[in-house]
């Protein structure tokens, strides 16, 4: 917002309050030294009139907020080795401004990725059929976990009509609790995974997207399609500052009596954890082992 626009807003408000003879005055800009230092680190001048910097940028994640440290190199080494919030410094008992703003920004992003929905147009561009659980919307999905464990009638009909029956491996992608986990990782995990399974000589079912899905929904999908192995790629609960984490749940011949210990899980699939392409290779090896042992979960380790 430029200076003239600010002056106009101030004049309008004062006029409504009955003030007359309003004279324009200079606007004083207050610049926080800590924030200004971070701006300079990102190449943005605080007085340049440009947009504020993105607090998710690497320079902020690796920002050292401890002033006059006895051993600065020790703090810098610690910051470089972890994504945890270390070395942010403090002002008395309070956090530094940049540290607080980054915390609030990360918290907002984590909430956003839970609430937002994957666009149907995005799925169509990638050739993914979409089905839905019994949860009618995101609010019901969050407040009624049981509704996300069952498919609605339309979904059941679509699966029977459009999906390959009795494949060795059925792959399902679901939003779960993170939109970012799906949109950020899709291109680096789903195509390599499908290609890897096919190159291994396996019969792969029709991949599709499950909206408002919970992990338990893969059991009903596996039974409906009579898939030997069901692979569910689903968004995890977002961590603070980490909203892109995807999990893989693999199960051998699920039934109505399946319990959670029957599943094999690979979690923290994202650029900062297990890279998606690497995870795809690990899942292919896992599938071959499950087919060989005819088991998953704790039964796979017996």
To the question of whether residue 215 is assigned a binding role by annotation, the answer is: yes
User: How many whole angstroms separate alpha carbon 79 and alpha carbon 73?
Assistant: 10
The two three-digit tokens of residue 277, written as one number = 């392409």
Backbone angles phi, psi at 87, to 5 degrees: 70, 25
Question: In three state form, how does the secondary structure of 104-144 look?
Answer: HHHHHHHHHHHHCCCCHHHHHHCCCEEEEECCCCHHHHHHC
To the question of whether residue 236 is assigned a binding role by annotation, the answer is: yes
Q: Do 84 and 103 form a contact (C-beta atoms < 8 A)?
A: no
Which residues contact residue 190 at a Cβ distance below 8 angstroms, ignoring those fewer than 6 apart? 171, 173, 207, 233
Backbone angles phi, psi at 38, to 5 degrees: -65, -40
Q: Residue ranges for the binding site for adenosylcob(III)alamin?
A: 215, 236
Binding residues: 215, 236
């Amino acid at each position: 917002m430029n200076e003239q626009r600010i002056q106009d807003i101030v004049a309008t408000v004062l006029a409504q309050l009955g003030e007359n003879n309003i004279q324009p005055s200079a606007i004083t800009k207050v610049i926080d030294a800590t924030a200004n230092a971070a701006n300079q680190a990102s190449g943005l001048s605080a007085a340049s009139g440009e947009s504020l910097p993105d607090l998710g940028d690497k320079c902020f994640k690796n920002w050292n907020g401890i002033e006059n440290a006895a051993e600065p190199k020790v703090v810098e080494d610690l910051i470089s080795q972890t994504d945890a919030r270390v070395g942010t410094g403090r002002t008395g008992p309070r956090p530094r401004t940049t540290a607080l703003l980054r915390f609030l920004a990360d918290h907002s992003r984590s909430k956003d990725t839970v609430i937002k929905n994957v666009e149907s147009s995005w799925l169509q561009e990638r050739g993914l059929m979409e089905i839905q659980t019994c949860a009618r919307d995101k609010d019901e999905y969050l407040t009624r976990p049981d509704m996300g464990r069952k498919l609605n009638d339309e979904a059941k009909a679509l699966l029977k009509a459009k999906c390959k029956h009795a494949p060795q491996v059925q792959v399902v992608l679901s939003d779960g609790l993170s939109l970012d986990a799906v949109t950020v990782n899709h291109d680096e995990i789903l195509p390599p995974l499908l290609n890897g399974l096919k190159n291994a000589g396996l019969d792969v079912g029709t991949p599709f997207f499950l909206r408002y899905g919970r992990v338990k929904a893969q059991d009903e999908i596996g039974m409906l399609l009579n898939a030997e192995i069901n692979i569910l790629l689903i968004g995890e609960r977002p961590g603070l500052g980490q909203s892109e984490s995807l999990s893989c749940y693999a199960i051998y011949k699920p039934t109505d009596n399946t319990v959670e210990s029957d599943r094999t899980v690979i979690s923290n699939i994202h650029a900062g954890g297990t890279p998606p392409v690497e995870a795809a290779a690990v899942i292919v090896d896992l599938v071959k082992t499950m087919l060989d042992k005819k088991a998953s979960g704790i039964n796979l380790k017996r």
